[in-house]
Structure 1
Amino acid sequence: MNLHQILNKLNNLKKIEEVRASQHYRKVAIAACFGTFLEWYDFLTFATLAVVLGPLFFPSNDPNTGLLASLATFGVGMVVRPIGSALFGSLGDRIGRKPVFMITIALMGLATVSVGFLPTYSQIGIWAPILLVGLRLMQGLSAGGEIGGSAVYLTEHAGNENRGFKTSFLQLMGPLGILVSTMQIAFLQQLLSPEEFQSWGWRVPFWISIPLLIIAIYIRKSLEETPIFLELTKQATKNESQLINNFRNPEIRNRMFLLFFCISSSGAILFFCVQVYTAIFLKTSVKLNPALIDQFSIFATLTLFPFTIFAGWLSDRIGRKPVVLSGIALGAIFVHPAFQLLQYLGSLYSEMPTNGSLVGIGVILTILSIALGLVVGPQTAILAELFPAKNRNSAATLPHNLAAGWIGGLLPLIVTWLNQVWGNSLAGLWYPISFLIGAGIISFLYLPETKQINLNH
């Protein structure tokens, strides 16, 4: 065999290995993304059905009281997310990423399916809301362990090349969960009479979690532990809980703050501004047709997808920091004028319906989606890249879920409250804008570039 033949053989072997690695990562990515989609679908279906669940589980002479109780139950799930992240994040550093993956998906699935079979207040009295709150707590704990932990798992499998692009797809699962949940419930409400939907139709989205859960568990069972964690297990030091050590270590503590304040909070604020608050604003302040608002919500979600993937790809080329900073800056500059324009164009359309007004609203939602995509596209990679391997799961999941649960989750409530206090439908927006300005300044000064980080260290 001559030298040319040997080189050809080596090249062929290299190509085979690259194909195998690509196929393996694709399998890992599908499992991680499908599981995260299921978590978001389960978690957000509850919110979508809050209006229906209120009178069924919290009956009251005042309909608003029942709705507030139902929304408060949804909020409980957001509040306990950081507790779940502390518990499961620490566990992931001790026993491995994959076992925690299996626990969180099973816990979320069990809680969600159980809601679909839960007796209502008229059937078992006070035990109905008690059980519902308990199941919601289980959902929140599970989401805290899954959302963040899945980012670490996927990134550790992604290797050192094109991590931003490869992991950006995980960020699509939240919007996709909202989209599927909303469209499914809208379909059921068209298919069934109001009485049928109120009687049993609301249970169907929870029942659909059964086959989805079986598929997710089957896929995840076949997955392997991340190579980085397997390497950690070979070291002489025992894998112990790193949660307390994270706060004792000044560098890790500072990076947890940067993740919380700059990356995760900015992403959560923009996510709730674009995906949640725009619909609330158009319904309450602009008073557009609800069906039209639903169409705009679907449009905003679909628009977000390509921008998120592009931002992940771009962060591999020019770095994570400039991409994220661009998104934060665009959000800080454009959020307030965006909602001013939405108010103006919505009012204009109500008085004189024209396609121009609708196109204008679509353009505004697109620009907001660009800002969101720029922040969250590289986010999955950054979550893992900021921390050393032995601390990574616990250090990444806690600040990320604190930001998503307490900053982003409470955003619509705080903005609405500030609007009422100041008597202005736009006044409350200075809260997220101030947050974004602060995050932008701190990111510019202190956020490290992580694109070239070796995840094995």
Structure 2
Amino acid sequence: MNKINNLEKLQDSHSYRKIAIAACFGTFLEWYDFLTFATLAVVFAPLFFPSSDPSAGLLASLATFGVGMIVRPIGAAIFGSMGDRIGRKPVFMITIALMGFTTFCVGFLPTYAQVGIWAPILLVCLRLLQGFSAGGEIGGSAVYLTEHAGNEHRGFKTSFLQLMGPLGILFSTLQIAFLRSYLSPEAFQEWGWRVPFWISILLLLIACKARMALEETPVFLELSKCNQKTENPLLSNFRDPETRKRMFLLFFCISAGGAVLFFCVQVYTAIFLKTSAKLPPEVVDEISIFTTLALFPLTLFAGWLSDKAGRKPVVIGGLLLGAVLIQPAFQMLQSLSGQYLKSPGANTPLILIGLILTLLSLALALVIGPQTALLAELFPANTRNSAATLPHNLAAGWIGGLLPLIVTWLNQQWGSDLAGLWYPTIFLIVGAIVALIHLPETKNQSLLD
């Protein structure tokens, strides 16, 4: 009877909307804070890593971005286990406070010209704390939202969470574009870049207020009533062969595939267009805004489609589409950028660039649209939080987060702007093959099992 009552509670659409808004806003703040660094990677290079070689400075800046991604699995292991033991909600409050505070501090960091080597050291330390916090939030929020979503239209209802990463980039990019338009290049380089980090404190206060009103998930409450919680959930996950297998599939096929596409489409394309293609930063920012807006309906469509056709075919379709598109898409981006630079007043090259990025966004949407639901559906309720968050953050941190650095390094080693892109292409092909053979279909999976 308790399970029936809980399932009925899950269907309360008004209650779910309230929960979804609060959960999504907190995740938006996490992504905004975490990815603002990526948006400003080119700006950070001369401020914190001065070098006679601009490429070396950019590599150092991208490496610092990657450091934050590397520690995400540590946060996932600690906070994921806490979520299975003490509840999903308390972990949310801790992670959001830590992320907001560290991001706010980045806005007050001295530069290399002011304090020398201490500038990059302090930046790396704050970046580590950001990554630690993100590890507990991203993945855990997917479990929280899915456990509140019920069994009907779960893919569509939870796909909204996947919009928070692009929305974080969009909000950050809009701010930077606004600041660039109203400040001189000297003023932006001196203090304008700090503004997005300062604003995070206001967003933190809003997010904390919203999350304090959140309820614990009915699934976790049911586990508590039945005394089915696990004392060592992470250890239990590795001891169970089926859970281990599904953790690997989540890591390699779903989360790593989504992370590779996300950082290719939402992060690396902007870096590529500003550095290799030499497009003006303000033009790239405008293109990025358009591409991000296009991703929103595509992601919701993919979540809806996964409720109809199943999670597995939608994800595999996204992996294959991404693998086919990456190399020719970036070749065309480079060619069209050259055409625009020859005739800066021509709009046709920019329109075609936007269409190419929209097509890449479709591949990304097909993978991340069903992803939120899959994170929860793959695992049993009593160890779900830790089983989902660790492989998801390991993939996003070690595969996705390091992608801009690895691709840039491979390009420099091979003396080509495109050679490094074979890395994500091959990864997506292998991920699609593994998913086709081993990934189970989960769209009808009960979350109380």
TM-score, reference length from structure 1: 0.90
1:85 aligns with 2:37: no
Q: Secondary structure of 2:276's match?
A: helix
The residue number in structure 1 matching 2:378 is 386
Q: Displacement, 1:399? A: 0.8
Equivalent pair of 1:91/1:241 in contact (CA under 8 Å): no
User: In the TM superposition, what is the alpha-carbon distance from 1:299 to its structure 2 partner?
Assistant: 1.4
1:185-215 deviations in whole A, cap 9, x for unaligned?
2222332344443443333222211121111
Residue 12 of structure 1 aligns with which residue?
none
Q: Is 2:191 aligned against 1:216?
A: no
Shift of 1:108: 0.6
1:303 is aligned to 294
Pairwise CA RMSD of aligned residues?
Answer: 2.4
Say which is worse superposed, 254-263 or 46-55, in terms of deviation: 46-55
Distance in 2 between residues matched to 1:350 and 1:52, nearest whole Å? 22
Partner of 1:401: 393
**Paired position in structure 1 for 2:407:** 415
Shift of 1:250: 0.7
The structure that has the greater radius of gyration is 1
**Gap change, CA 1:127 and 1:340, over 3 Å in 2:** closer
Show the counterpart of 2:282: 291
CA distance in structure 2 between the aligned counterparts of 1:364 and 1:51, rounded to whole angstroms: 23
Task: Tell me, yes or no, if structure 1 residue 96 matches structure 2 residue 87.
Answer: yes
Give the partner amino acid of 1:250. P
Q: Secondary structure at 2:335's aligned position in 1?
A: helix
Look up the equivalent residue of 1:293 and give its one-letter code. V
Contact 2:177 2:282 in 1 (8 A): no
Paired residues for 1:359-378 under 5 Å? 359-378=351-370
Aligned to 2:447: 455
Q: Quick one: which amino acid aligns to residue 371 of structure 1?
A: A
Alignment match of 1:438 (pick from 406, 418, 430) = 430
Distance in 1 (alpha carbons) for counterparts of 2:280 and 2:107:
30
Q: Does 1:23 align with 2:14?
A: yes
Flag structure 1 segments of 5+ consecutive residues without an equivalent: 1-16
> CA-to-partner distance for each residue in 1:121-162, whole Å, 9 max, x for gaps?
566665544433222211110001000010000000001110
Write the letter of the residue equivalent to 1:254.
K
Determine if contact 1:325/1:443 at 8 Å carries over to the other structure.
Answer: yes
Partner Cα separation in structure 2 for residue 51 and residue 426 of structure 1? 19
Match of 1:79, as an amino acid?
I
SS of alignment partner, residue 208 of structure 1? helix
**Is 1:346 aligned to 2:311, yes or no?**
no
Q: Does the C-alpha gap of structure 1 residues 239 and 322 become closer, same or farther in structure 2, counting only changes over 3 Å?
A: same
Closer/same/farther in 2, CA of residues 53 and 342 from structure 1, 3 Å limit: closer
| Separation in structure 1 between the aligned mates of residue 185 and residue 117 of structure 2, nearest angstrom | 25
CA 47–424 in structure 1, closer or farther in 2 if over 3 Å, else same:
closer
Q: Is the 8 A contact 2:158 2:372 kept in 1?
A: yes
Q: Is the 8 A contact 1:45 1:205 kept in 2?
A: yes
Letter in 1 for 2:14: Q
Residue 328 of structure 2 is aligned with which of 322, 327, 337?
A: 337
Measured in 2, the distance between the counterparts of 1:58 and 1:423 equals 23
Give the letter for the 1:107 counterpart. L
Q: Give per-residue Cα distances to partners, 1:301-344, cap 9 Å, x unaligned.
A: 11111000000011111111111111111112222222222233
Query: % of aligned pairs identical?
Result: 74
Given that 2:323 and 2:425 are in contact with CA atoms closer than 8 Å, whether structure 1 keeps it comes out as: yes
Question: Given that residues 10 and 148 in structure 2 are in contact (C-alpha distance below 8 angstroms), is that contact kept between their aligned partners in structure 1?
Answer: no
1:137 matched residue in structure 2: 128
What is the CA deviation profile of residues 416-435 of structure 1, one whole-angstrom value per residue up to 9, with x for unaligned ones?
22233333332222211111
TM-superposed deviation, 1:59 = 5.6
Using the alignment, how far apart are the partners of 1:229 and 1:83 within structure 2? 23
Q: CA offset at residue 182 of structure 1?
A: 1.6
Mark the CA change 1:341 to 1:121 in structure 2 (over 3 Å): closer, same or farther: closer
Question: For structure 1, which segment, 253-262 or 417-426, has the greater mean C-alpha deviation from structure 2 after superposition?
Answer: 417-426
CA positional deviation for 1:63: 6.2
Tell me which amino acid in the other structure corresponds to 2:327. Answer: H
The match for 2:3 is: none
2:372 aligned partner, one-letter code: T
User: Is 1:150 aligned with 2:156?
Assistant: no
Contact 2:10 2:218 in 1 (8 A): no
Structure 2-normalised TM-score?
0.92
**Measured at CA, do residues 357 and 201 of structure 1 come closer, stay the same or move farther in structure 2, by a change above 3 Å?**
closer
Deviation at 1:237, TM superposition (A): 4.6
Partner of 2:314: 323
Task: Tell me the residue number matched to 2:150.
Answer: 159
Is residue 235 from structure 1 mapped to residue 247 from structure 2 by the alignment?
no
3-state DSSP of counterpart to 2:230: coil
Q: Aligned-pair distance for 1:409?
A: 1.3
Contact 2:333 2:353 in 1 (8 A): yes
- Can you give the 5+ residue segments of structure 2 that lack an aligned partner in the other structure? 1-7
Moved more, 402-411 or 48-57: 48-57
Partner Cα separation in structure 2 for residue 299 and residue 410 of structure 1 = 25
Counterpart CA distance in 2 for 1:422 and 1:221 is 51
- Equivalents in 2 of 1:293, 1:400: separation in Å? 30
Larger mean CA deviation between 313-322 and 120-129 belongs to 120-129
SS at structure 1 position matched to 2:12? helix
